[in-house]
Amino acid sequence: MSDQMYHIEIGGEQKQYAQGTTYLDIAKEYQKEYPDDIVLAVFNNKLRELYRKVRADGTLEFVTTAATNGRKAYRRSMLMLMEKAIFNLYKKSVRLRVMHMLGQGQYCELEGDRPVCAALLDEIRSEMLRLAQADIPIKKSTIHTDKAVAMFTSYGMRDKAELFRFRRSSHVNLYDMDGYKDYFYGYMVPSTGYLKYFDLMEYEAGFVLLYPNEDTKKAAQFQTLGKLYHTLMESAAWAKKMQISTIGELNERIVQGRIQEVILLQEAEMEQRIGKLAEQIAASKEKKFILIAGPSSSGKTTFSHRLSIQLRAHGLSPHPIAMDNFYVDREKTPLDENGQYDFECLEAVDLELFNSSMEKLLAGEQVNMPHFNFKTGKREYKGEYLQLGPDDVLVIEGIHGLNDRLLVTLPKETKFKIYISALTQINIDEHNAIPTTDGRLLRRIVRDALSRGTPAERTIAMWQSVRRGEEKNIFPFQEHADVMFNSALIYEMAVLKMYAEPMLFAIPKESPQHLRAKYLLKFLDYFLQVPSEDIGKNSILREFIGGSCFHV
């Protein structure tokens, strides 16, 4: 070992470490100070895996499984552990397909000659625990992209071979667990010894791998999410029918010059679903309040307008109402535990004004409807009066639409609740699912910059507060909806790329938001770019990139 020493600041304390010291060595020294396992490090504002060595002076922070990046690394590594266990037990007779997140569990299916049953999951669980107990290092290596394509082709992993065929970088990082190699989107924990907390349970046509959540050393309880599951599976089935289940397959359509066909088919499929939904509502004459709720950047506003058009085609007289226009003035917005404005809480809405306005409209009175100016943070009135006739219906969109505290005095039979979210239907490959939150964040970054004057750095900084609000105010109510609607567009990331990349590159390296920006830039790099000219003016995507025919 060299005599070279490096000066490292850790939690305000100055330390010295010799050249060749790994972040893992240092993490073991500090682990006793953390209740959760340290799995990654941040050195000079750059995310690092623990196997890497100290090579400069700087500031070091630890990332545990309680943090977002640490949780993702744990879950990613757990998937590889499960892959390895399945390979050890069944070799190539069983193929794992990682699909959707359901609560704190990853829904997966197996293809091959072994049907999912309790006995099979017991075998896999036992092998995973054996591998965890063996504390096998998870090694990282870099190979040429052409070699990776050839290797995955020989493995029969066509999805990965297609993904890397369009890769601009000449090299690919692979992970090795006791001779089993695979590619993963993101960093991993140092060894299998970290991967002790999980469970497996049968569900529908496959099974769920349960991860820890707030208690990082215990698998979370599975929450049955039947409506969400079936909505996700319907979208995945449509993507499979279109033969665009992965990014590689989407990129192939782009290079073939067939992306306009993909856009038209996706928009037609979505319009068909909206039409069927309108037909269902029109058949229930007692429904007067159509409540549309969902997490941030789900396209609620455009969806409400498009649904209104379809309702009108079925003989109804709908009136779209955006709940955002009933926000309290910004200085009256409640603060979260960090002292930041909590725009996602129910109290950010002027409930008294909203409820009284709806009651007056239901009674046939004329109401001067408010308009919220997001740039000034003030509610304004522009003389937009609304009065309902006897055959009219109200189409109300906002994140709290499923909350029973909203319009609590209205009869239940007059309400029709719709949960909408952008539930990404394609995967990076068969072992790397795309988190739906990443797609929504990219939508919001682009929209906020173009229409609200908010830079990407600030949008990312606010995202954790937004996510906490969703966990508290939206997701607990999603299964109470009458219908779930998936607003994700199979082609949208290829379009958002051209808008989002400059915004993300503008975030300076010293910014606390740089790590998330770099993560998103790496994700967007998988996609070939698609221009927006062929996207219809009524598309949900227009709500985020501009050019919508609706007032959004």
How high is the pLDDT of residue 1?
A: 46
How high is the pLDDT of residue 468?
A: 84
How high is the pLDDT of residue 170?
A: 87
**d(C-alpha 74, C-alpha 209), whole Å:** 13
**d(C-alpha 14, C-alpha 129), whole Å:** 39
Band the pLDDT of 339: cuts 50, 70, 90: confident
Helix (H, G, I), strand (E, B) or coil at 76: helix
Phi, psi of 11 (to 5 degrees): 60, 35
Which residue bears the tokens 């082609």?
491
**d(C-alpha 515, C-alpha 523), whole Å:** 13
Q: Is the Cα dihedral 400, 404, 407, 413 positive or negative?
A: positive
Helix (H, G, I), strand (E, B) or coil at 322: strand
pLDDT > 90: percent of the chain: 79
* Residue 211 scores a pLDDT above 50: yes
The mean pLDDT of 146-158, rounded to a whole number, is 89
The mean pLDDT of 459-469, rounded to a whole number, is 90
**d(C-alpha 474, C-alpha 297), whole Å:** 13
Crossing angle of helices 514-524 and 456-473, rounded to 10°: 90
- What is the CB neighbour count within 10 angstroms for residue 324? 17
What type of residue is 431?
Answer: H
Report the chain's mean pLDDT, rounded to a whole number: 93
Least confident of 152-156, 206-210, 279-283, 446-450: 152-156
> Of the candidates 311, 345, 442, 280, which has an alpha carbon nearest to the alpha carbon of residue 303?
311
Edge-to-edge order in the sheet of strand 289-293: 317-322, 392-397, 289-293, 415-421, 483-486
* 253 compared with 361, residue with greater pLDDT: 253
- What is the CB neighbour count within 10 angstroms for residue 12? 6
Cβ neighbours for 271, distance < 8 A, ≥ 6 positions apart? 306
* Global model pTM greater than 0.85: yes
**d(C-alpha 497, C-alpha 541), whole Å:** 12
Cross-strand bridge partners of residue 432:
429
How high is the pLDDT of residue 551?
A: 85
> Of the candidates 175, 177, 156, which has an alpha carbon nearest to the alpha carbon of residue 84?
177
CA 457 to chain centre: 18
The mean pLDDT of 314-325, rounded to a whole number, is 90
> Of the candidates 276, 267, 268, 324, which has an alpha carbon nearest to the alpha carbon of residue 300?
324
CA 150 to chain centre: 31
The mean pLDDT of 73-99, rounded to a whole number, is 96
- DSSP for 99-143 reads EEEETTEEEEEEEES----HHHHHHHHHHHHHHHHHT-BEEEEEE
Least confident of 184-193, 203-212, 335-344, 516-525: 335-344
**d(C-alpha 311, C-alpha 323), whole Å:** 20
The mean pLDDT of 327-337, rounded to a whole number, is 90
Phi, psi of 493 (to 5 degrees): -65, -35
21-46: per-residue pLDDT in tens? Answer: 999 999 999 999 999 999 999 999 99
**d(C-alpha 181, C-alpha 170), whole Å:** 19
How high is the pLDDT of residue 359?
A: 83
> Of the candidates 437, 517, 518, 424, which has an alpha carbon nearest to the alpha carbon of residue 475?
437
How high is the pLDDT of residue 2?
A: 55
> Of the candidates 212, 220, 152, which has an alpha carbon nearest to the alpha carbon of residue 184?
152
* 169 compared with 199, residue with greater pLDDT: 199
* Residue 147 scores a pLDDT above 80: yes
Which residue bears the tokens 């000034």?
376
Vertex 307, ends 227 and 545: CA angle to 5°?
95
362-416: per-residue pLDDT in tens? Answer: 788 999 999 999 889 999 999 999 988 878 999 998 888 898 888 887 788 889 9
* Residue 217 scores a pLDDT above 90: yes
Element (H, E) at 501: helix 492-505
> Of the candidates 361, 373, 497, which has an alpha carbon nearest to the alpha carbon of residue 442?
497
The mean pLDDT of 75-80, rounded to a whole number, is 97
**d(C-alpha 320, C-alpha 100), whole Å:** 32
Which residue bears the tokens 């890397």?
164
Band the pLDDT of 180: cuts 50, 70, 90: very high
**d(C-alpha 296, C-alpha 443), whole Å:** 9
**Alpha helices, DSSP H, located in 348-491:** 351-362, 436-451, 456-473
